[in-house]
Structure 1
């Protein structure tokens, strides 16, 4: 049936159930929310009201089965009706997405097409996810995406049964979250004078101001919209590096004893910035005040605090930082960063939350309760899992979707490794060197979309899709652990149908034959890596 991601078990039957104007929706107790969502998703495309039905016969029926896991579901369809059964609301939502796929690509449109007929083929499907964390990172700091584009991206995640949006809200190039106690973070930090065009070696600028931010109510809306689709939004406030936008707003946050921080603006370059937070008590309290407001907005258990790419040169030159190292009895600047992260690990734990950070937080010693996003390869995740820490695998060599999709000159601003649709399909999140106990700490996997070279939603579409569909199957389906054993030909055949769904959703994906003329960026220098990653 060309389903993506592939279900655990599938059996086709004879005949089909036809949806008619009088077809009803039967919602058993506890499924009312799922019924509301199903009407909201199927109604615009089909033009059908799906009124409440008193009995499941001759209807679409929703029910709960406590024997199933929360995300586990079952679909039984035949000429007499369609029954969606799940262990909880998330499972019913996933069943609804599978039902949309069974109805055909037109089920993803926002208005009915003339003469459309709606049939659900007779099937029995049993399905559940491999990982509990099936995520995508969206970087809204390097290039701001308006709220409507974030909501649209959430719809795309839901359609592929992905359940975590990691929202990268702050970086050197822009601060995107309103903090009421510190208004200059958005008054100053949300705007930069210009942006680099392509990679830094081109020394090319657009001389156009760029910026924007989300109000706290905007973010509450995003969180609620995601929750309605059973997606968790994990916020990221990147500390102690990647903080020049904050330092530009509040110069006292920087290392004022070695840098004239009052002269700094929001960074207009891409790359790793040398300006990092100082380690004073006042700066710790500032970050705590930011996080207090973050926790009011985001109910997620995990809060991402970055911890990556923090150059230590300013700390090495700073008498205040050296004094802090001596005061705390630390060995060096790596341990100073570890102390900084450990402080917030304890702070978050005291409020019932958990810290997650990039794998650099392993350097100098990992905070006891912290989880790791393993981005520099598998190594950090392997070390963390073996030490009993939870891990989200997102190695840049495999699932950084800003990396180019082919080796040709037509790829827009070619960055990083060539990662084709097939490469992503063959990505395996759990490396073979982990034993069963350590592998259980790989709680999920995530594809990351960094937007230095994507300045609007069309660019994000092109880089993310169709590869995010392949990633969704890796994260959800019970595929062979050996990548070479996966049925690439079968997936490619199913993708031929899935392109029609992406078209109906309005996703401007990269087509198999290559970019369309308006998706190219001729003459804009990238940073390709021609090595083949292992």
Structure 2
């Protein structure tokens, strides 16, 4: 039956198309087959595979661990007698006991829901009573190279033990434990007639390649509620990412409360792309997002894009529009590069000071992102002077400035590489040679709003198309000729010009996010497309158990239904 879309809004037409795609996927065709794409399999053969029988072995973990040694014997089975135990240590360790207990409670709650087991928390004394289970232990004696995020996980017939130098390392280990259990462990409710909740015998020694591993969510083109952002955080935590970059301002909307600048929310927050209602985070909303992220060991990096991408600011405070670049408000299109704040004057720097002071107050993490991309209406000298002034304000507020790679001439010390056109990578390389650090986000590899192929109903194609192989098959250390040690890590931006529901976010995140997470976490020597796509294929069952949407790409050998 044809669907008539004449007279409907762009958003409504897109939702109708996506609904048909998802309906076809639900009956077994898969999203890729439903849209009839023919060019998806650029990276290698696809096909279907079978999930191996028995407990999940550690060679199926995503991201792949640093070291895995298979054990022998029956492994450990979760039962009614299983406890989650925190183990006492040195006096220094005891000072972190509350944080360790919180990690233990998070793990226990995640396992209780699907298993229906009580999984009470216990302490070391319970061992004398013969209790078995999962133990979490801080151990400063672990090798120094374990770092703050590394861990050791061992499992045998007597239980599972996770040790780390920090609570953060324990948390990363608990994510690996979840992957060692059957996929139904991700179900938000009890699994009736559940599987054998057995962990295979194994020793895992693990630590990350890069200290910065993140994803960005654009909440300006389309606004996402605090609850929806928390769901996004959950997906990042599964794959051991540790930074959430929130893009909080752009031409279409302003999304964070600044009490000294009320027009930003009364005027600048009321719209978004397609003209649907926007929204904003109060300070309490934002701090709740930060708290939720902190409990999963993700650092929130807020971004206010300056001096371009500023139409919502100019609508709120027209006196900052000396370049006469503002578009009529509300602006609901997706064109970029037209708006610019005044590059000089007390009024503009009073404004930036107010915003930076408030963001620094409510952000406990070390970074504050100042944007800086796609500025066309001021001279290079004015631009560099503006960036330097704002950079200094961020430093004075006690935060480390981050900027898109165009901010290199302004002296920003952490640069996010996205655009190598017109020699912009040359400026970044020169800055790295002077000591700047680089977050790698090349748009043709990491931008998760790019379509999988041109026929896909969501996303854009200005940076090309990105299938899973394209996202996975590159090296952050060698993509640019940077000095050794310059790469701080990897970040996957997700812009939302065409995305306005959590389900649409999921379809663009999964299965590409795990590919980029593995680039950030796993050693260079471990990277293998053939091995990765086989491990990735088993993640689909986890996403289905969790209720996450995902794109069933042809280049991934998903198990036969």
Query: What residue is the counterpart of 1:508 in the other structure?
Result: 549
SS for the counterpart of 2:466 is: coil
Output one character per residue of 1:170-208: Cα deviation in whole Å (capped at 9) or x when no partner. Answer: 00001011111111111110123x745xxxxxxxxxxx4
User: How far is 1:513 from its partner?
Assistant: 4.3
User: How far is 1:19 from its partner?
Assistant: 0.9
Query: What residue is the counterpart of 1:239 in the other structure?
Result: 306
Q: What is the Cα-based RMSD across aligned positions, in Å?
A: 2.0
1:205-354 matched pairs, under 5 angstroms: 208-255=275-322, 259=324, 264-278=328-342, 279-312=344-377, 315=378, 333-354=379-400
User: How far is 1:411 from its partner?
Assistant: 4.3
SS for the counterpart of 1:238 is: coil
Distance in 1 between residues matched to 2:65 and 2:325, nearest whole Å? 57
Distance in 2 between residues matched to 1:62 and 1:413, nearest whole Å? 42
| 1:65 alignment partner, one of 139, 153, 166 | 139
Distance in 2 between residues matched to 1:454 and 1:334, nearest whole Å? 33
| Pair 432,173 (structure 1): closer, same or farther in 2 beyond 3 Å | closer
| Pair 419,380 (structure 1): closer, same or farther in 2 beyond 3 Å | farther
User: How far is 1:260 from its partner?
Assistant: 8.5
| Pair 134,433 (structure 1): closer, same or farther in 2 beyond 3 Å | closer
Query: What residue is the counterpart of 1:517 in the other structure?
Result: none
Output one character per residue of 1:395-453: Cα deviation in whole Å (capped at 9) or x when no partner. Answer: 1011111111124x244355231211011111211126646xx2312111101101101
Query: What residue is the counterpart of 2:419 in the other structure?
Result: 376
1:116-135 matched pairs, under 5 angstroms: 116=194, 117-135=196-214
SS for the counterpart of 1:59 is: strand
SS for the counterpart of 1:234 is: strand
Distance in 1 between residues matched to 2:251 and 2:136, nearest whole Å? 47
Distance in 2 between residues matched to 1:428 and 1:167, nearest whole Å? 25
SS for the counterpart of 2:68 is: strand
Would you say 1:13 and 2:71 are equivalent positions?
A: yes
Distance in 1 between residues matched to 2:396 and 2:325, nearest whole Å? 36
Distance in 2 between residues matched to 1:94 and 1:252, nearest whole Å? 48
Distance in 2 between residues matched to 1:385 and 1:503, nearest whole Å? 42
In structure 2, stretches of 5+ residues that fail to align are 1-56, 89-96, 556-561
User: How far is 1:283 from its partner?
Assistant: 1.1
| 2:105 alignment partner, one of 33, 36, 54 | 36
User: How far is 1:476 from its partner?
Assistant: 0.4
| Pair 231,413 (structure 1): closer, same or farther in 2 beyond 3 Å | closer
| Pair 187,91 (structure 1): closer, same or farther in 2 beyond 3 Å | same
Instruction: After superposing the two structures, state which structure 1 stretch, 390-399 or 33-42, moved more.
Output: 33-42
Higher relative contact order (CA 8 A, sep 6+): 2
Distance in 2 between residues matched to 1:350 and 1:260, nearest whole Å? 30
Query: What residue is the counterpart of 2:515 in the other structure?
Result: 470
Distance in 2 between residues matched to 1:148 and 1:290, nearest whole Å? 24
| Pair 260,114 (structure 1): closer, same or farther in 2 beyond 3 Å | closer
SS for the counterpart of 2:258 is: coil
Query: What residue is the counterpart of 1:144 in the other structure?
Result: 223
Query: What residue is the counterpart of 1:493 in the other structure?
Result: 534
Output one character per residue of 1:40-59: Cα deviation in whole Å (capped at 9) or x when no partner. Answer: 22222222232215355722
Verify the 8 A CA contact 1:175 1:213 in the aligned structure 2: yes
Output one character per residue of 1:360-382: Cα deviation in whole Å (capped at 9) or x when no partner. Answer: 112xx232x52100110465543
If the length of structure 2 is used for normalisation, what is the TM-score? Answer: 0.80
Distance in 1 between residues matched to 2:418 and 2:264, nearest whole Å? 28
SS for the counterpart of 2:161 is: strand
User: How far is 1:155 from its partner?
Assistant: 0.4
How many residues align? The count is 471
Query: What residue is the counterpart of 1:110 in the other structure?
Result: 188
Would you say 1:392 and 2:435 are equivalent positions?
A: no
User: How far is 1:242 from its partner?
Assistant: 0.6
User: How far is 1:477 from its partner?
Assistant: 0.3
Output one character per residue of 1:475-523: Cα deviation in whole Å (capped at 9) or x when no partner. Answer: 1000339xxxx42111111112111111122221111249xxxxxxxxx
User: How far is 1:34 from its partner?
Assistant: 1.7
SS for the counterpart of 1:242 is: coil
Output one character per residue of 1:279-331: Cα deviation in whole Å (capped at 9) or x when no partner. Answer: 2111101111111111111111110000111112xx4xxxxxxxxxxxxxxxx
Query: What residue is the counterpart of 1:23 in the other structure?
Result: 82
If the length of structure 1 is used for normalisation, what is the TM-score? Answer: 0.84
Verify the 8 A CA contact 1:172 1:273 in the aligned structure 2: no
Verify the 8 A CA contact 1:381 1:392 in the aligned structure 2: no
| Pair 228,380 (structure 1): closer, same or farther in 2 beyond 3 Å | farther
